[in-house]
């Protein structure tokens, strides 16, 4: 998988918030096999724990994807991205511009505007968006080379609420990396996203808030691999009627044998 100029082997991207402890976070990152972790500027710069948290991320060997979590305006998002670039020394930015307080749905108008400003400033933008095709086209026109449609509201664990919309997005953008971001709650959700042809999934709460985050991280990694391989194998289409798996040709007809 190629994300801008960077090649990534693992198709699971992991968030770093809400874990019970730094040690569990570190073990979850290792168990997931991920190569990209997201982190917010607020989390890194927290007094007292910031330096230790940054040391943990560096020790993981993962690529850092800063995000603009909690931003509600173009100005907030752009300013946060610029500060994150200085702190993490990376042009990558996961761009979030929240428009609705309850669902945390992106403000797609502000998102496109912020993406255009940031790409012109040299950022490589990972936009958190909806599955709307027109918005996707506008983001690509703004300079984004990948899209991150939501599966469901952030932290909800509802899975893929609009599979048809994601399927249409895959067909409409066949050559654009698509990463399902938000809403994944179970390994089966991650597998379904990959079966639809998505390039990767990004999740946080499903692992961080699991009873056993390390085991869940490992399960998510396995689900992503299974879903990707299932998609590559060209699975059969659903049928309206049953079709016997055993050929009927050559089967004995007991009624005829009884008459004999």
In the chain, the N- to C-terminal Cα span, in Å, equals 65
Strand 2-3 versus strand 179-181 pairing type: unpaired
CA dihedral (57, 58, 62, 65) in degrees, to 10, reads 60
For residue 46, the Cα-to-chain-centroid distance in whole angstroms is 25
Is 52 annotated as ligand-binding? no
| 48 annotated binding-site participant | no
Catalytic residues: 94
**Relative orientation angle of helices 133-141 and 163-172, to the nearest 10 degrees:** 40
Q: Is 38 annotated as a binding residue?
A: no
Burial of 167 (0-12, 13-18, 19+ CB in 10 A): middle
Phi, psi of 6 (to 5 degrees): -110, 130
- Residue 232 is assigned to a ligand binding site: no
Binding residues: 155, 182-183, 204-205
* Residues that constitute the known binding site for 1-deoxy-D-xylulose 5-phosphate: 155, 182-183, 204-205
């Amino acid at each position: 998988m190629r994300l801008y100029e960077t090649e990534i082997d693992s198709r699971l991207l992991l968030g770093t918030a809400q874990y019970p402890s730094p040690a569990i976070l570190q073990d979850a990152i290792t168990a997931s096999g991920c190569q990209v972790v997201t982190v917010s500027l607020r989390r890194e710069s927290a007094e007292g724990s910031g330096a230790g948290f940054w040391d943990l991320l560096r020790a993981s060997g993962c690529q850092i994807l800063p995000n603009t979590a909690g931003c509600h305006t173009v100005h907030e998002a752009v300013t946060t991205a610029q500060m994150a670039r200085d702190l993490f020394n990376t042009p990558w930015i996961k761009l979030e511009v929240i428009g609705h307080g309850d669902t945390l749905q992106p403000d797609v108008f502000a998102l496109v505007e912020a993406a255009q400003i940031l790409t012109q400033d040299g950022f490589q933008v990972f936009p958190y968006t909806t599955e709307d095709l027109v918005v996707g086209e506008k983001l690509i026109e703004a300079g984004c080379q990948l899209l991150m449609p939501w599966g469901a509201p952030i932290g909800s664990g509802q899975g893929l609420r609009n599979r048809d919309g994601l399927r249409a997005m895959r067909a409409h953008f066949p050559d654009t990396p698509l990463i399902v971001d938000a809403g994944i709650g179970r390994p089966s959700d991650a597998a379904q996203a990959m079966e639809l042809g998505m390039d990767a999934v990004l999740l946080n709460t499903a692992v961080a808030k699991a009873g056993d985050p390390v085991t869940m991280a490992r399960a998510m990694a396995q689900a992503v691999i299974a879903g990707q391989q299932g998609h590559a194998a060209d699975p059969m289409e659903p049928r309206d009627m049953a079709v016997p798996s055993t050929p009927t040709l050559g089967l004995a007809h007991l009624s005829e044998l009884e008459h004999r």
